[in-house]
């Protein structure tokens, strides 16, 4: 995996494309089509906006992107954010924000800062996605039950008991049927049936049942002429410019982080060409700019579709491109079929997507690494306040946790036959200097001291604090036996040189390996 284009990408042959990428593209198309419509529904946008984003994402990012097997399109992770912007700014202005966010991404890709986006704590990213998943479930479950979603998570939760007690007949049946099919499909044994995408089976099954029952339910509204459904963007007016700027930066940062994390995850699923993250970020920006200009939703790399792409046998970027071609053909030639799909069926699909965003494996891993509080704070912020507040609270919690870890210096002192033996371990950094100073201040002036410096992290502040105390103690008549701190510093640097990259799912800690023995 690289960010600078060192990964080699083989030039595909027509035979290889027909043998591997063509079949894979059909699988991805069948997975992506219902998801694009469903995400548009969750975003409060026209259904066509989701399909436009799917086409643009597949064609533009597929051709220009730096991750050949990554599939891009509208993502559930942005649905809640987009819904809020549409409610605040209107759909046309939100499209302009998407286009402007794409330009920001292009600039970031040109500055080659893609790698820095991976510095965001995984606990914050997973917490953000889980919070979004909970919001999607709380909103869409009302549609599944035949009602209407409320304005926020609290109202959705408060109105849910009444919705359960006042079910809406056929609409509820169709929504629960769709959700049931999706859940059951996960437990099918691997075989020919399992190769058929579960979302396709659920949506087609729910639509067929609705047709058989001649159900009087709300259905997808899609214009017969695809070109006439395109809504052009509009700039904000008056005092809306501030909210517009917030929308642009929010969309650019969150979409970039999700795309790059999906790119890294995709790299782990195959052994082909590695990711060029800067090129991928630039391509995502171009795609978002075009999508916004033609009335589409924001675009990110999507790991679910990418995994389906790889599992279906895709070998090159042409699978992602072809899946967009099939989607474009469907919209222009067979778009009328979408009008048979009940909205409650799409809502059932979205509830399932939202549930999957709350990943229990991630929760277990974060708990094992001690990062569960950061995750929970992020989830609470996203659900209880809003997406940006949740991300901000999560980042703040991650920084406080890091500072707390950097301050975990341990100073143990004991008196052995008139000699004060002091062992300093843990992380001796600027955060831990007050604790170190307080412990050393208890040592009587003029006493004999032996110091064992067995720290695994030492910064300049810790170095200066310990050196200064030793000089002061000697000047007041005491003795200090301690390994020269310059040797500790040099050994720390030497042993920290062959750094092994930590797993992508864990935070990066700069830890040196120092010998446990101090002055002998």
pLDDT of residue 156: 82
Q: How far apart are CA 319 and CA 349, in angstroms?
A: 24
Ordered domains of the chain (ranges, CATH)? 17-397 (no CATH), 409-493 (3.30.750.24)
Q: pLDDT at residue 388 above 90?
A: no
Query: What are the respective helix, strand and coil percentages of the chain, to the nearest 5?
Result: 65, 10, 30
For 14, residues 6+ apart whose C-beta sits below 8 A from its C-beta are: none
Give SS3 for 500. coil
- pLDDT tens track for 5-48: 444 666 777 877 888 888 889 889 988 888 898 899 889 899 89
> pLDDT digits over 345-383, tens only?
888 888 888 888 888 888 998 898 888 999 999 999 988
Q: What is the 3-state secondary structure (H, E, C) of 196-237?
A: CCHHHHHHHHHHHHHHHCCCCCCECCCCCCCHHHCCCCCCCC
| DSSP 8-state assignment for residue 149 | -
Average pLDDT over residues 201-208: 89
Q: Write out pLDDT tens, residues 67-115.
A: 999 999 998 888 888 999 999 999 999 999 999 999 999 999 998 888 7
Structural contact between residues 507 and 442, judged by C-beta atoms closer than 8 angstroms: no
Report CA 503 to chain centroid distance, whole Å: 16
Q: Cα(first)–Cα(last) distance of the chain, in Å? A: 46
Report the percentage of the chain scoring pLDDT > 70: 90
Give the tokens for residue 403.
């500072």
Q: Which residues of 307-329 are buried (b: 16+ CB within 10 A; e: fewer)?
A: bbbbebebbbbbbbbbbbbbbbe
d(CA 79, CA 298): 9
Strand partners, 426: 409, 455
Chain segment 403-449, per-residue pLDDT in tens: 887 778 888 888 888 888 889 888 888 888 888 888 888 888 888 98
Q: What is the pTM of this model?
A: 0.74
Q: What is the pLDDT of residue 10?
A: 66
Calculate the average pLDDT of the chain.
83
Three-class HEC string of 299-358: CEEEHHHHHHHHHCCCCCCHHHHHHHHHHHHHHHHCHHHHHHCEHHHHHHHHHHHHHHHC
């Amino acid at each position: 995996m690289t960010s600078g284009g060192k990964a080699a990408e083989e030039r595909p042959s027509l035979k290889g494309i027909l043998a591997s990428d063509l079949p894979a593209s059909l699988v991805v198309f069948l997975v992506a089509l219902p998801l694009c419509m469903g995400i548009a529904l969750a975003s409060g946008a026209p259904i066509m906006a989701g399909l436009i984003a799917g086409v643009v994402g597949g064609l533009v990012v597929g051709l220009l992107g730096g991750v050949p097997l990554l599939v891009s399109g509208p993502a559930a992770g942005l649905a809640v954010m987009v819904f809020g912007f549409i409610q605040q700014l209107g759909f046309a202005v939100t499209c302009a924000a998407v286009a402007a966010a794409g330009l920001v991404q292009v600039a970031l890709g040109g500055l080659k800062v893609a790698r820095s986006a991976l510095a965001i704590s995984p606990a914050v990213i997973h917490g953000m996605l889980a919070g979004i998943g909970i919001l999607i479930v709380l909103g869409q479950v009302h549609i599944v039950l035949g009602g209407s979603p409320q304005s926020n998570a609290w109202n959705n939760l408060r109105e849910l008991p009444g919705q359960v007690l006042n079910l809406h007949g056929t609409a509820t049946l169709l929504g629960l049927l769709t959700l049931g099919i999706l859940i059951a499909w996960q437990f099918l044994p691997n075989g020919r049936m399992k190769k058929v995408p579960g979302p396709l089976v659920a949506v087609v099954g729910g639509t067929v049942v609705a047709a058989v029952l001649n159900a009087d339910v709300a259905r997808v509204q899609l214009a017969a002429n695809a070109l006439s459904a395109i809504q052009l963007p509009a700039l904000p007016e008056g005092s809306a410019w501030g909210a517009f700027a917030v929308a642009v930066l929010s969309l650019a940062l969150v979409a970039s982080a999700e795309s790059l994390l999906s790119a890294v995850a995709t790299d782990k699923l195959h052994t082909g060409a590695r990711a060029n993250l800067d090129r991928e970020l630039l391509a995502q920006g171009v795609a978002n700019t075009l999508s916004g200009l033609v009335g589409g939703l924001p675009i990110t790399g999507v790991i679910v579709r990418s995994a389906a792409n790889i599992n279906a046998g895709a070998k090159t970027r042409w699978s992602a491109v072809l899946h967009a071609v099939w989607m474009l053909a469907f919209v222009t030639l067979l778009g009328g079929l979408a009008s048979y799909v009940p909205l409650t069926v799409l809502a059932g699909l979205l509830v399932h997507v939202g549930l999957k965003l709350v990943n229990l494996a991630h929760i277990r891993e974060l708990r094992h690494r001690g990062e569960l509080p950061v995750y929970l704070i992020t989830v609470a912020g996203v659900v209880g306040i809003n997406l940006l507040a949740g991300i901000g609270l999560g980042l703040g919690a991650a920084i406080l946790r890091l500072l707390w870890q950097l301050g975990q210096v341990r100073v143990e002192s004991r008196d052995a036959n008139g000699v004060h033996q002091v062992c300093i371990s843990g992380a001796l950094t600027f955060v831990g200097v007050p604790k170190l100073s307080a412990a050393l201040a208890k040592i009587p002036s003029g006493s004999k001291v032996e110091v064992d410096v067995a720290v695994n992290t030492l910064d300049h502040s810790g170095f200066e604090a310990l050196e200064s105390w030793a000089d002061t103690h000697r000047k007041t008549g005491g003795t200090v036996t301690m390994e020269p701190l310059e040797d500790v510093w040099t050994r720390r640097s030497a042993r920290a040189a062959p750094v092994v990259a930590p797993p992508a799912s864990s935070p990066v800690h700069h830890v040196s390996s120092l010998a446990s023995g101090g002055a002998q």
